[in-house]
Structure formats: structure tokens, C-alpha cells
Amino acid sequence: MPSQPAALACPLCRNQDFQREEGRLDSKWGVTSHKMVLMICTRCRYILHFYDKHSIFDFD
């Protein structure tokens, strides 16, 4: 039986409710681009960053 992943919890306040935002981060010279998922704690507003399918060939 597969185990369930652990619930996401804020490392500062241990809250488990988050606002999800998606965006893109470009490198200093614009050569690389990374898709990002930001999970923002609804209690203390701490931001957890997650990268999604980043590649040096992903310019859109």
C-alpha cells in the first residue's frame, strides 16, 4: 500500500493552510527561466518556493 505524502507545514508557525501562486523566475542575464510554484502561509506569510520543470531551453 503506497504511503501518503506528509502534509505541507510552514517551517515557522506550523500552519498547514497555504495560498498557491505560480510564476516565473529569470536569471540575472535572462539566459535561463524557471517555472515556480509559491506556497504562501496564510498565517505568517512565509513563502515556500518550489521549482517546476526548469530548463535552460525553456524561454516561454
Cell numbers describing residue 35 = 517555472
**CA distances (Å), origin 32, targets 4, 16, 54:** 34, 32, 8
The whole model's pTM is what? 0.70
The contacts of residue 59 (CB under 8 Å, 6+ apart) are: 33
Cell numbers describing residue 1 = 500500500
The pLDDT tens digits for 3-58 are 777 789 999 999 999 999 998 888 777 777 778 889 999 999 999 988 766 544 44
